[in-house]
Amino acid sequence: MYSHMGNILPQAKVKLIVGFIFNSEDALRKAESLLIKKFGPIDLKSKMLDFEYTDYYNKEFGSGLKKSFISIERLISPEEIYRVKLATNQVEDSLSRGGRRTINIDPGYITLGKLVLLTTKDHTHRVYLRKGIFAESTLRFRNNTFRAWETTYPDYRSDKYISLFNEIRNIYKNQLERDKS
């Protein structure tokens, strides 16, 4: 008996998503505008949601924080995803005032099977990509919905977020089907 090496196959393009934590709608509008210039038009924009899951950001941004998400119409190569986090870090820096961020930007992507978030922070469940950027599988798609792992952030476990990500996944699935034909 011997085993065969797996064949390396081209990977499907992925659906870029971006989450924002903020208390200034002006900072949100500016960040969205900069990201549209960089990555192209938005095909879904969530409602503004109250961000009540942690007070981790309160010292930096104050209280009464909001969270919102966008998804980008143009699909991207997963091989280049680390560049998205580098770009969103630059946007955060460009919108900083007095050495303090005015917005937190969390990019990631959706495939048919998972939602992946990008971060600069290493942890046991994160995989290093390049240039100081790590990825983590935050949600998995099983039994027709996204589901949390034990390491999933509390907000990403919420029904509101799961429903939104299911909607974005449907947009992505339709794009893949359209591209095939």
Domains and CATH numbers, the chain: 15-180 (3.30.70.260)
Neighbours of 137 (CB within 10 A): 18
Residue 30 sits at φ, ψ, to 5 deg, of -65, -45
Alpha carbons 169 and 121: distance in angstroms, whole number:
26
pLDDT at 55: 83
Question: Is the pLDDT assigned to residue 81 strictly greater than 70?
Answer: yes
Please tell me the distance from the alpha carbon of residue 165 to that of residue 59, in angstroms, as a whole number. Answer: 28
The token pair that represents 60 in the structure block: 């930096």
**Mean per-residue pLDDT for 6-11?**
82
CA–CA gap between residue 87 and residue 178 (Å, rounded):
29
Q: Kindly give, in sequence order, each residue whose CB lies less than 8 Å from that of residue 153, ignoring residues fewer than 6 positions away.
A: 53, 138
Mean pLDDT of 114-130: 92
Average pLDDT on 109-126 reads 94
Q: Please tell me the distance from the alpha carbon of residue 159 to that of residue 156, in angstroms, as a whole number.
A: 8
Q: Quick one: pLDDT at residue 181?
A: 67
Q: Evaluate if residue 166 carries a pLDDT over 90.
A: yes
Hey, what amino acid is at 174? N
pTM over 0.85: yes
